[in-house]
Amino acid sequence: MKMALKYTLSKNITAAVPPGQNTLFLKALEFMNEFEPVTEQEIARLQELSNVTEPLFMHA
């Protein structure tokens, strides 16, 4: 979750949707205390994960 949040916040965005579960939301707030932009190595790792991860939502 931390890498995904770092990736999102490193992009040119105006807002990010926070996790809906209270404990995950609080964890996301904790991450912000140590936020650093995503690195090229982390982006590569996220791309690897995206190739083997089943999507939560799919277009019909």
pLDDT above 70 (res 10): yes
In the chain, what is the straight-line distance between the N-terminal and C-terminal CA atoms, in Å?
Answer: 26
How many CB atoms neighbour CB 41 within 10 A? 8
Q: Domain extents for the chain?
A: 2-8+19-49
The percent of residues in the chain predicted with pLDDT above 70, rounded, is 97
- Mean pLDDT, the chain, rounded, equals 85
Angle between helices 2-9 and 22-32 (to 10 degrees): 60
- Condensed to tens digits (0 to 9), the pLDDT of residues 20-48 reads 788 888 888 888 888 888 999 999 999 99
